[in-house]
Amino acid sequence: MAKLPQPTQPPLRQATYKAHATDFVVNEILPLDFTGEGEHLWLHIEKLGMNTAYLAKLLSEWAEIPLRDVGYSGLKDRHALTTQWFSLRLPKKQLPESEFAPIDIGVNESLTILAQQWHNKKLNRGTHRANQFIITLRDIQFANTETTPSNKSDKDAVEQHLAYISTTGVPNYFGPQRFGRHGNNVREALALFARPVPENRPQPKKSKRKQAPREQNSMELSAARSLIFNEILAARVRDGSWNTGLTGEVFNLDGSGSIFASEVMDDTLQARLASGDIHPTAVLWGVGNDKVSGTAAAIENDIVQKSPLLSQLAAGLEKRDIKAQRRALRLPIEELSWEWQDADDELRLVLSFTLTTGSFATSVLSSLVQNLSSSSATS
């Protein structure tokens, strides 16, 4: 994928993350009061070297229940040390006779059950509020020097940048994992859009099911929308409006899914933007993108119309009747802290921060590092 612009020059020329799985720690933040009763057993699990879907499969086999009766909130990276909740529907509240200790896991894979609770509801997708990240950067090269010294001025520049983005936030780009290895998900989307659109099957009159994007193509559709969004955000970063707003803007209320439109930028909106109470948005492309207007709408349409690739993706999404949504252009960073470590003749920078669900840690790292590399095959 093309390199995306940043509002300020990153103070690190180069760094590596995920050199080891434990260099990338993700802890799911899911505030919940458990009932202590009900037919759903919730398990808090720490896993290393395996993805969420695979662990869900192992749990369904252990509990001898259908995979659909295993719930989880979000997908967590395989090449990381992560903690997250799973729920198992056990109508008779009968636990398996054996402990959950799969034997068919790899040498570099592990899992530990940290806690368990009974609850009266299944864990549904998107339930968790945020994720805490603890990320170790290695192979550090500073932007202002040819080598990798640990002198105070270089570190000061990094720390000033971190302090700055902790108050301003960073561009809310979709991370490279959204697009697959070498952008393959976008190519799959183009192949999908080249095929005829399947006809919707008529729903029975009594059916309460709602039409939704076809699950089997969700990865391709998501990649198409994400690429368009990233290009619009990149244009807004270049012109400096990604965090200031434009006429006709649609704003997102911080910490919620609520949005509202405003045709004119006034002092009140500017003050709310400056305080982080609201954020400008861009479209997740689809039909019904009618809330945005004025200059904001013109930029979105112009970006798509001038790119044959984006135009093709946009047309494919519209033909499949995907509904337009909005996503904040600015990503706030909560509880950002850092620590320098100098061990084994290697300088490391350990970052800790919290991001809302649906955002990407690579957005924070890309703001800090010009050339960010990963030892993970999927990043």
Measured CA to CA, the distance from residue 309 to residue 287 in angstroms comes to 18
From first CA to last CA, the distance across the chain in angstroms is: 12
Using CB atoms within 10 Å of the CB of residue 291, give its burial: 0 to 12 exposed, 13 to 18 middle, 19+ buried. middle
Indicate if 302 belongs to the active site.
Answer: no
Which residue in 23, 69, 77, 154 is the catalytic one?
77
CB 87 within 8 A of CB 119: yes
Return d(Cα 24, Cα 21) in angstroms, integer: 6
Active site residues: 77
